[in-house]
A and B are shown apart, each in its own frame.
Chain A
Amino acid sequence: QKEVEQNSGPLSVPEGAIASLNCTYSDRVSQSFFWYRQYSGKSPELIMSIYSNGDKEDGRFTAQLNKASQYVSLLIRDSQPSDSATYLCAVNEGSGYSTLTFGKGTMLLVSP
């Protein structure tokens, strides 16, 4: 069974710090990786996707992928209180399959 593991948190960081969120996955054939942000009482919102090893930057967000270690991470620079949310890691095995396997999420708390 495919598994996506995340630390449930909460991860607490002060405003302005770098928040580092981590995710490991069990299926070696996984090809596509996504980070979703979910505010309390709201739906998951896609914020980052990454498909190849290395780093991908988008504004204050950087996704990092290491397929050999089956590890994907999300860095949030200059964290803001508005970044406080649960971050869900999702993995897709590729090859035309559209389904995602989600982790249970890491709660991030950014204190002013």
Chain B
Amino acid sequence: DARVTQTPRDKVTEMGQEVTMRCQPILGHNTVFWYRQTMMQGLELLAYFRNRAPLDDSGMPKDRFSAEMPDATLATLKIQPSEPRDSAVYFCASGFAGGAEQYFGPGTRLTVT
């Protein structure tokens, strides 16, 4: 059963702490996307990778967010330092390059107090 996996599923942290979220894309998919979802903004694209190379991270606050793909089976999104306004659900999605269909992981619900 091919699925995108994400860890942790829930994270509660205090303002100023570092948060790292992890994603394992579907095996064979070579594009990975990070999204943030809030009630007000809906789904926002933060960054995406193709063949592990970052193609666009213009949706990310550069001073505190960073995204990497250390290998084809792992993508990470890091926030340092975290702020209350970062509270949201963060989704990872994967797909094939050349196709537009994306498959979402279960998400990480982040609460920053």
Interface residues of A (CB under 8 A from B): 31-32, 34, 36, 42-46, 49, 88, 92, 94, 96-100, 102-105
Contact = CB atoms under 8 A, between A and B. Distances in A.
27 contacts: A32-B100, A34-B101, A42-B106, A43-B104, A43-B107, A44-B91, A44-B104, A46-B101, A46-B103, A92-B100, A94-B100, A96-B97, A96-B98, A98-B48, A98-B50, A98-B98, A98-B99, A98-B100, A98-B102, A99-B45, A99-B48, A99-B56, A100-B100, A102-B42, A102-B43, A103-B42, A105-B42
Contacts of A45: 104
A63 to B, nearest CB: 13
A80 B56 CA distance: 40
Given A46-B101, A94-B100, A99-B48, 16 more contacts: A31-B100, A32-B100, A36-B104, A43-B104, A44-B104, A46-B102, A46-B103, A96-B97, A98-B31, A98-B95, A98-B99, A98-B102, A99-B45, A99-B56, A100-B45, A102-B42
Interface residues of B, number: 21
Contact of A34 (B31, B100, B107): B100
Interface string B19-43: 0000000000001010000000011
Contacts of B102: 46, 98, 100
Contacts of A102: 42-43
Interface string B35-69: 00000001101001010000010000000000000
Nearest to B92: A43
Residue among B100, B101, B107 facing the most chain A CB atoms (10 A cut-off) = B100
A98 B103 CA distance: 12
Most chain A beta-carbon neighbours within 10 Å: one of B42, B99, B103: B42
B55 to A, nearest CB: 8
A99 B33 contact: yes
